[in-house]
Amino acid sequence: MKIKRLFFVLLVLFGVLGIRCFRDFSIESVDNTIRELTPFEKQLTESDNAFGLKLFQEIVQGEADTNIFVSPFSVAMALGMTTNGAAGTTEEAMRNTLGFGNLAGQEINESYQSLLTLLAGLDQKVIFEIANSIWYRNTFQVENTFIDLNKTYFDAEVQSLDFSSPLAPGIINSWVNQKTHGKIEEIIDQIDPFVVMYLINAIYFNGTWQYEFDEEKTQDDSFYRSNSSQVACRMMKQQNDFDYFETVDFQAVDLPYGGGQFSMTIFLPRADRSLDSLIAGLNWATWIEWTGRFLKTRGTLYLPKFTIEYKMLLNGCLSHLGMGIAFDPLQADFTKINRNGDLYISRVLHKSYVQVDEEGTEAAAVTAVEISLTSIGEPAGFIMRIDRPFLFVIREHHSQTVLFMGKVVNPGLL
């Protein structure tokens, strides 16, 4: 199963972000009207990709011999929205972790805004949808600038909600379910009383292979795991002209979707090589070198059909990458969300889904950044100011006996 790991993340990084031009083997020509990326967009996509590779390496280290499918793009975008609310050393740590470098906040926001539009309309033969939302407790005051930035540049839907209502998780999950076309039904199970906000990104991808596999050629086969054990699989087969290259360490193939703007890139280590070693050595420079070496080559490809549903709490991985301060209730600074609130990121939740078959690939991912009040902050629930006449009762709970009742109209009177 370990061999599946790498191309899962490469599908998202290489296919979703589309930062390199794929070769289109179809009869139709590539749409030459697609605009070039601006310098800021190029820097942002490079930052997102470098962050994604590091994040994937962190996840793999903690998930031995496990199918993994994540969307670093979804994580980066959700954290990008959150960064608009960070200040001081928290903002600096998040920017460094995400690799924003010398990009100003406005340049980051504007680049995300234009990339959202570009990616969504990049290939008319591929369905690719991005949605963002912010949900906050209806008793919690949010800075207008923070809301306006994320509405304007991330096209975020913003809604206040009674988090104390048992219906609240269902409302948020309904949005997630809709935006992922039913592939991810929920991201929130319950809402802690100290949670005041969720920043959520959802993406959906549905691409048909430019050259589909013939279902009649799919056969029962075996898949060999890293521990030499075998598992049964349904193996697809296709002979065609592929974008391909190989080294002494691995073979690589690139499979285009639709009009060729999206693709799945697969790296297969040699039988005597370790996939973990391949992943550990992957960085932005290596990625650029490898993806520039594909050549049109005749060959036969065997690819197993598979479906993966994956979920993970990303707090530990993101902390190891440098933004641990954002998870620290005593040090985190999110005063651009609420200048008076003691806020921190309590959880970064990630869920994903992918299905690969003879026709193509359907994938979805959701990232939710959960913002909570610290224990030293004002309670996240209701606010009660006893500044007018009131009634009080002293009672015994076991027998439900009322022992005393009182009314106070002026606490200053003796």
Digit-coded pLDDT (tens) for 31-57: 457 788 889 988 998 888 889 889 888
Q: Say which residue the tokens 């039988």 belong to.
A: 271
Q: Which two tokens stand for residue 162?
A: 């009674």
Per-residue confidence at 319, pLDDT binned at 50, 70, 90? very high
Question: Pick the residue with more confidence: 281 or 3?
Answer: 281
Q: What is the pLDDT of residues 103-113, one digit of tens each?
A: 999 999 999 99
Question: Pick the residue with more confidence: 272 or 88?
Answer: 88
Q: What is the pLDDT of residues 198-207, one digit of tens each?
A: 999 999 989 8
SS3 annotation, 71-121: CHHHHHHHHHHHHCCCCHHHHHHHHHHHCCCCCCHHHHHHHHHHHHHHHHC
Secondary element (H or E) of residue 178: helix 168-179
Q: How much is the pLDDT for 387? A: 56
Q: What is the pLDDT of residues 205-250, one digit of tens each?
A: 898 999 999 999 999 988 887 777 888 888 999 999 999 989 998 8
Q: What is the pLDDT of residues 5-18, one digit of tens each?
A: 443 333 433 333 33
Q: How much is the pLDDT for 230? A: 83
Share of the chain above pLDDT 90, in %: 48
Q: How much is the pLDDT for 14? A: 37
Q: How much is the pLDDT for 323? A: 96
Residue pair 55/12 in contact (Cβ under 8 Å)? The answer is no
Residue pair 236/213 in contact (Cβ under 8 Å)? The answer is yes
Secondary element (H or E) of residue 393: strand 390-396
Mean pLDDT (whole number) for 269-282? 83
- Reply yes or no on whether the pLDDT at 366 is more than 50: yes
Q: How much is the pLDDT for 190? A: 92
Q: Per DSSP, what are the bridge partners of residue 235?
A: 219, 304
Q: What three-state secondary structure class fits 248?
A: coil
- Reply yes or no on whether the pLDDT at 23 is more than 70: no
Q: Which two tokens stand for residue 241?
A: 């002209």
Mean pLDDT (whole number) for 175-184? 97
Sign of CA dihedral 314, 178, 257, 99: negative
Q: What is the distance in angstroms between the CA of the first residue and the CA of the last residue of the chain?
A: 77
Q: How much is the pLDDT for 18? A: 36
Q: How much is the pLDDT for 411? A: 56
Closest-CA residue to 106 (of 136, 135, 149, 65): 149
Worst-scoring range by mean pLDDT, 266-280, 349-363, 367-381? 367-381
Q: What is the pLDDT of residues 375-405, one digit of tens each?
A: 644 444 444 444 566 454 344 444 344 344 4
Residue pair 161/193 in contact (Cβ under 8 Å)? The answer is no
The model's pTM: 0.83
- Reply yes or no on whether the pLDDT at 137 is more than 90: yes
Closest-CA residue to 132 (of 365, 388, 333): 365
Q: How much is the pLDDT for 261? A: 85
Worst-scoring range by mean pLDDT, 3-17, 136-150, 209-223, 255-269? 3-17
Secondary element (H or E) of residue 313: strand 306-313
Domains located in the chain, CATH noted:
3-208+306-373 (3.30.497.10)
CA-to-CA separations, 189 to 27, 79, 167, 194, 368, in angstroms, rounded:
48, 21, 11, 15, 12
Q: What is the pLDDT of residues 282-317, one digit of tens each?
A: 888 888 898 899 999 999 989 888 888 889 999 999
Average pLDDT, the chain: 83
Mean pLDDT (whole number) for 346-358? 92
Q: Which two tokens stand for residue 55?
A: 């994040």
